[in-house]
Structure formats: structure tokens, C-alpha cells
């Protein structure tokens, strides 16, 4: 009886692990990561009425994630062409496709006091 119970638990754990891996959506390229970030920005209206039109994206890649800085593209939107202030950043986990951001308005919408930490989003 004990052997059968252990086998059932083993099968259950294996099934859960496989289901988790099947649901993971790996991100393999900068373009994929950027598309996810742009979709998130649009979904949460971080760009206001202009969307991402007045934003410029700078992408850095580590072994585990894509790090994307979102900056104001002042040249395109009438500001000083020599200044591109950072608005906020995103991280995109390569293995799972999960996003996190340090966006101030998003932290506030969660009821958090902004401290620069990344919060999971989408």
C-alpha cells in the first residue's frame, strides 16, 4: 500500500512539473522581449495617448533575462534632442517570459510605495 501511495505522489509531482514547463513561454530574442514590453506598455497605458511613439528602448541581455530601459524620445516628440530621460525599465525572464517593471505609476496602482523595486506585471 505504501509503495503504491509513493508511486502516485511521484506521478503527481512529475505531472505538475511537466505542466509548469509546458506553460512556460521562453523568450529567445530581443525582438520577442521588446514586443512583450510594448504590449504591456499599451495595455497599462504607460505612454498615455501617444502610446510608445515617444519612447525609445535600450536592451541589455544577461544569461537569465532581457533588461529594457524605456526612455523618452524627445527628438521625435519636440523636446531637446540631446536628452532622453529614463522613464522606467522592464525585465523579461528568458525562460518563462515573465515581465517585471519598476514603473512608478504601476507600483502606486498596486498600493505600493515606490522604492525602485521591480514588480511582476501582466
Domain that holds residue 62: 26-121
Q: Would the pTM of this model clear 0.85, i.e. be above it?
A: no
User: What confidence score (pLDDT) does residue 73 get?
Assistant: 87
Grid cell 503504491 is found at: 4
Q: How confident is the model at residue 106 (pLDDT cuts 50, 70, 90)?
A: very high
Cell of 116: 525602485
pLDDT in tens, 55-86: 999 999 999 999 999 999 877 788 787 888 99
In this prediction, residues 99-109 reach a mean pLDDT of 97
pLDDT in tens, 11-39: 445 544 444 444 459 999 999 999 999 99
CA-CA distance, 39 to 46, in Å (whole number)?
Answer: 10
Total count of domains within the chain:
1
- 90 found inside a domain: yes
CA-CA distance, 30 to 92, in Å (whole number)?
Answer: 10
Q: Which residue has the higher pLDDT, 88 or 82?
A: 88
Amino acid at each position: 500500500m505504501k509503495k503504491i501511495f509513493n508511486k502516485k505522489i511521484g506521478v503527481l509531482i512529475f505531472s505538475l512539473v511537466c505542466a509548469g514547463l509546458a506553460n512556460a513561454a521562453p523568450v529567445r530574442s530581443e525582438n520577442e522581449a521588446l514586443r512583450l514590453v510594448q504590449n504591456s506598455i499599451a495595455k497599462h497605458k504607460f505612454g498615455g495617448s501617444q502610446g510608445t511613439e515617444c519612447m525609445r528602448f535600450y536592451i541589455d541581455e544577461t544569461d537569465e533575462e532581457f533588461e529594457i530601459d524605456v526612455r523618452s524620445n524627445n527628438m521625435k516628440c519636440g523636446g531637446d534632442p540631446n536628452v532622453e530621460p529614463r522613464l522606467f525599465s522592464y525585465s523579461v525572464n528568458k525562460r518563462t517570459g515573465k515581465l517585471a517593471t519598476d514603473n512608478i505609476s504601476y507600483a502606486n496602482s498596486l498600493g505600493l510605495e515606490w522604492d525602485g523595486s521591480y514588480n511582476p506585471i501582466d
